[in-house]
Chain A
Amino acid sequence: MTVLFFGRLKDVAGHAEDSAEFSDAATIEQLFALYAARYPELAKYRSSVVASRNQEFAAWDTPLRSGDEVAFLPPVSGG
């Protein structure tokens, strides 16, 4: 499973891309919790993060599958 961080979340996590074992987390929420445990600063942003699974915005309880691409996205500011 590929995990991507963007914007300030990339700064907090210290990298843009990571790979996680599918067996480590069953949902997006659990996956975020794993990273928040590794990078405590990340937990502060939980309420202003949205997640995507395979390039679609996804609810926190979305189940994960092997090979998924999950991204954690801060508020968008394009334009």
Chain B
Amino acid sequence: MVTLPHDDIYQLVREPIDMAAQIRLVRGPEDGAIVTFDGFVRNQSHNRATLYLDYEAYESMALAKMREIGLQIHEKYSIHRVAIVHRLGRLEIGETSVFIAVSAPHRAAAFDACRFAIDTLKRTVPIWKKECFEDGAVWADGELPPVPAATPRAKPAS
């Protein structure tokens, strides 16, 4: 059984992400390792020079899906705390768009959980980026989230 820590962090923000602060917040005396993922804006896309990116989200659902990822990694790996923070709005080259920190007593679980978290975020969290170039802007190619093919049964209203 998994007891859910109340101190995990799931945030959508519009200002620069304070990575050091997130690392401090997941760090506990019983931990021996923190693994972080810092995803930031690249200066090109398919050999076109990027000027900046513009991120938008279905915010209520994105936060719910980020929490779901947290639940999954607590179930799958022996970790302590997780912070998942995604920035929205206009981001310049080199600015961090997503930051994940996972603390654990031992490094293997932290590495595995952090990898799982970013891979799952990129597939399932409803966030979109528009790539802005000299000559226009396009919505980035993305991944289609896995969705049930058909309703197995009538679901009660929620």
A interface residue numbers (CB < 8 A to B): 4, 6-8, 11, 48, 50-52, 54-63, 65, 71, 73-79
Contacts and interface: CB of A to CB of B under 8 A. Distances in A.
A11 B62 CA distance: 20
Interface string B37-79: 0010000000000000001111011101000000000000000
B128 interface: yes
Contacts, number: 100
Contacts of B101: none
Given A7-B139, A59-B147, A76 B128 contact: yes
A55 B86 CA distance: 18
Nearest to A73: B126
Contacts of B98: 78-79
B58 A65 contact: no
B147 A50 contact: yes
Given A76-B128, A78-B122, A62 B151 contact: yes
Contacts of B60: 55
Given A78-B98, A78-B121, A73 B129 contact: no
B2 interface: no
Interface of B: 39, 55-58, 60-62, 64, 86, 97-98, 118, 121-130, 139-151, 154-155, 157-158
A77 B151 contact: no
Contacts of B123: 76
11 contacts: A55-B60, A57-B148, A58-B148, A59-B148, A59-B151, A74-B128, A76-B125, A76-B128, A77-B142, A78-B125, A78-B126
Contact of A75 (B143, B155, B157): B143
